[in-house]
Amino acid sequence: MADKSDSEKTVEAQTEAPEAELSSTTEADAGSEAAPDSSTEAAPDSSTEAAPDLGSEAAPDSSTATAPEAAQPPTSEPVTAAVVEKEYPGSVSDTPTIEHPDGRVELRDESTIRSSKLYNPDLAPVPVAKRNWTTYNFAALWVSLSACIPAYMLSSGLMGSGMNWWQALLTILVGNLIVLMPILANSHPGTKYGIPFPVFARAAYGTIGSNLPALMRALVACGWFGIQCWIGGKAVFFLIDSVIPGWETMLGPRVGGYFPSVWASFLFFWALNVFVIYRGMEQVKKVGAFAAPFVLLMCFLLVVWAVSSAHGFGPLMSVPSRYNNLASFLPIFIPSLTAIIGFWATLSLNMPDFTRFGRSQREQLLGQAFALPAAMTVLSATGVIVTSAAVVIYPTKHIQQLWDPIALMGMFDNKFIVFIAMLTVAIATLAMNIAANVVSPANDFSNALPRLISFRTGGLITAFLGIALQPWALMTDPSLYIFKWLVGYSGGLGSIAGVLVVDYWIIKKKKLNLQDLYLNQGAYRYVGGWNFAAVAATLLGCAGAWGGLIIIEMRPLFDYGWFVGFFVAAVSYMLFMPTPKPEGHHGH
């Protein structure tokens, strides 16, 4: 039961509100594009809460760092449209929310949650008036996220395992189509309620238990942050080498398998990330809008250069597959498919960090459904074509060097071209790294202690853990990168996805009590802040996915990691949660 500090004060505040306010209307924006929002004027108080400034002392909002700002539609005559205000009768906190005709929900008054220990400006629900991302913004987000070196190199590990070029690209396409389903499923609550991932997780795991999935996801993001810093460091190394002859050996002999100049370049790029995190991300937001097109342009120019220089597509395009029938192909296809899913397993959970700014469900769905599989497949195809042609152009170089576009561009004779290419890669990697691998874990760490950990502090935690996870080891061997790192963590994140999808779509039927997500004594307190049904289901999913690392007989389950984790956790949660009414909650 709630004490007076949380719920009774809320009820008292409601009864004092004017009766006419409960049937308020809002002005619609008749000029909206794909899905006109008939209620863009948000409720009093909450509509005046602007999205957090990315450069402010309080942590920036998770999604404003990446995609371009949505263009504002032309001003038109306001149209009055009825707003459906829904209360959640029987809840511990019966504060009315406004449900707009397009289904998006917001609080009438945020003052009731601002004093809660579960609230800070970075985690607050975004008012409808501030949800302005369009189809273009979501498509641009995925192009920006996909235009990265690891995506370019995905085909290398697959072809190195014996696949031919079209089998590798087919595996990448199918994997991205599969992971698109949980991405879209978990994107819906972000757009509907304006909440980030860790707040969404409170509905299933409890107000305290949500830290389990949030921190599991954050640790993986720290690993990705380190990987991108290592890649960016390599770009810095070649950039300096194009200006300072002998840079490679200038600082002394190899240490830990690499020259000190390589380590120095890595640490410089890592420090640049830390500097941007500390100073705020407004500049990165602007750079990110232009970085992705530059990377795509470079990929196109690489293809033109490679095919023209090699006078064709090279030998890799004609290398036969070692798997000539379905029986021999499936044993390598399934773990490879799991690895591709693992590539975006993090984003399949935390897309609410971005979709909370969505102008409509239709726009976020269209933007993501088109851009993700298309961008990933095109970039991977670029890697295959360029590497195949490079085998002809540089016959004495090892194939592993040719798969790495940074190493390949470092072989160019024209130092000015090398400098421009590496500068572009470094800028693009910096912008993408912070958008994809800092924004979300910073929110996740902030969710653990909202009053103590700001976005800035969460970002610094991410940066230091990124080094501790040794990204250079993960990127040394493509087989280690694909079949250990990606497959391994995909099982754990798949377990979380199974619980979240079942809880939101089946148990709660897309209905959440928005205010109670921010209250200690609200509907999602469960038992001491933990929903042990969700925790148990997640642990069972992880046990099924990771059991093969310990028990040899279960090894095949590890290769199916994401699928095993998702379905074991989903089925377990449905069995453990027979009712849609958590403790203290009597319906929506």
Cβ partners under 8 Å of residue 428, min gap 6: 147, 148, 291, 292, 294, 295
Q: What angle do CA 221, 146, 162 make, to 5 degrees?
A: 95
Q: In the prediction, which pLDDT does 477 show? A: 63
Q: What angle do CA 466, 243, 292 make, to 5 degrees?
A: 50
pLDDT digits 0-9 by tens, 398-437: 887 888 888 888 788 888 888 887 887 888 788 788 778 8
Residue of 342, 353, 341 whose CA lies nearest to 441: 353
Q: In the prediction, which pLDDT does 67 show? A: 39
**Mean pLDDT (whole number) for 560-576:** 93
Collapsing DSSP to helix, strand or coil, 31 comes out as coil
Q: In the prediction, which pLDDT does 240 show? A: 93
Contact 515, 6 (CB under 8 A): no
Tell me which H or E stretch contains 106. strand 105-107
Q: In the prediction, which pLDDT does 53 show? A: 40
Q: DSSP E strands: which ranges in 100-243? A: 105-107
Report the distance separating Cα 229 and Cα 470, nearest Å.
11
Report the distance separating Cα 360 and Cα 131, nearest Å.
8
Report the distance separating Cα 386 and Cα 373, nearest Å.
20
Burial class (CB in 10 A: 0-12, 13-18, 19+), 160: middle
Q: In the prediction, which pLDDT does 283 show? A: 54
- Which two tokens mark 442? 């910073």
pLDDT exceeds 80 at position 488: no
Q: In the prediction, which pLDDT does 443 show? A: 85
Q: In the prediction, which pLDDT does 289 show? A: 62
Q: In the prediction, which pLDDT does 12 show? A: 45
pLDDT exceeds 50 at position 16: no
pLDDT digits 0-9 by tens, 493-508: 999 999 999 999 999 9
Q: In the prediction, which pLDDT does 416 show? A: 84
289 vs 114, more confident: 114
Q: In the prediction, which pLDDT does 187 show? A: 97
Beta bridge partners of 358: 133
pLDDT exceeds 60 at position 320: yes
Q: In the prediction, which pLDDT does 486 show? A: 65
Report the distance separating Cα 138 and Cα 358, nearest Å.
8
pLDDT exceeds 80 at position 575: yes
Task: Give the DSSP letter of residue 105.
Answer: E
What is the band of 526 on the pLDDT scale with cuts at 50, 70, 90? very high
pLDDT exceeds 50 at position 10: no
Report the distance separating Cα 399 and Cα 319, nearest Å.
14
Going 572 to 577 to 583 to 588, the CA torsion angle's sign is positive
CA distances (Å), 538 to each of 204, 205, 210, 495, 569, in order? 11, 10, 12, 5, 5
**Mean pLDDT (whole number) for 91-101:** 68
CATH code assigned to 131-576: 1.10.4160.10
Q: Residue 259: what residue type?
A: F
Collapsing DSSP to helix, strand or coil, 285 comes out as helix
Beta bridge partners of 535: none
90: Cα within 13 Å, side-chain hemisphere: 8
82 vs 300, more confident: 300
pLDDT exceeds 70 at position 322: yes
pLDDT digits 0-9 by tens, 40-79: 344 444 333 434 343 333 333 433 333 334 444 444 333 3
Residue of 193, 146, 198, 207 whose CA lies nearest to 172: 146
b or e along 460-486 (b: 16 or more beta carbons within 10 Å of the residue's beta carbon)?
A: bbbbebbbebebbebbeebeebbbebb
Q: What angle do CA 524, 110, 450 make, to 5 degrees?
A: 60
**Mean pLDDT (whole number) for 166-190:** 94
Collapsing DSSP to helix, strand or coil, 551 comes out as coil
- Which two tokens mark 566? 């998702």
Contact 208, 529 (CB under 8 A): yes
- Which two tokens mark 188? 């819906």
**Mean pLDDT (whole number) for 125-136:** 91
pLDDT exceeds 80 at position 518: yes
Q: Calculate what percentage of the chain has a pLDDT beyond 70.
A: 77
78 vs 465, more confident: 465
pLDDT exceeds 80 at position 361: yes
Burial class (CB in 10 A: 0-12, 13-18, 19+), 566: buried
**pTM for the whole structure:** 0.75
Contact 458, 211 (CB under 8 A): no
- Which two tokens mark 85? 């205000």
Beta bridge partners of 105: 99
pLDDT exceeds 60 at position 343: yes
CA distances (Å), 376 to each of 122, 150, 291, 380, in order? 30, 10, 16, 6
Contact 67, 141 (CB under 8 A): yes
Q: DSSP E strands: which ranges in 7-99? A: 25-28, 79-82, 84-86, 97-99
pLDDT exceeds 80 at position 120: yes
Q: DSSP E strands: which ranges in 327-444? A: none
Q: In the prediction, which pLDDT does 427 show? A: 80
pLDDT exceeds 70 at position 525: yes
Burial class (CB in 10 A: 0-12, 13-18, 19+), 219: middle
**Mean pLDDT (whole number) for 337-365:** 89
Q: Residue 268: what residue type?
A: F
Residue corresponding to tokens 């306001």:
78
Q: In the prediction, which pLDDT does 397 show? A: 87
Report the distance separating Cα 418 and Cα 408, nearest Å.
10
73 vs 165, more confident: 165
Range picked from 89-103, 145-159, 299-313, 513-527 for highest mean pLDDT: 513-527
Region for residue 311 given its phi and psi (left: phi exceeds 0; alpha: psi -120 to 50; beta: otherwise): left
**Mean pLDDT (whole number) for 443-469:** 88
Report the distance separating Cα 287 and Cα 307, nearest Å.
30
Domain range list for the chain: 4-112, 131-576
pLDDT exceeds 80 at position 357: yes
What is the band of 314 on the pLDDT scale with cuts at 50, 70, 90? confident
31 vs 102, more confident: 102
Backbone angles phi, psi at 105, to 5 degrees: -125, 145
Going 395 to 400 to 401 to 403, the CA torsion angle's sign is positive
Mean pLDDT for the chain overall? 79
**Mean pLDDT (whole number) for 156-183:** 91
CA distances (Å), 226 to each of 98, 148, 185, 267, in order? 42, 14, 28, 11
Inter-residue long-range contacts of 79-82, CB under 8 Å, 24+ positions, other chains counted: 79/27, 79/28, 79/30, 79/38, 80/25, 80/26, 80/27, 80/28, 81/25, 81/26, 81/27, 81/28, 81/38, 81/39, 82/25
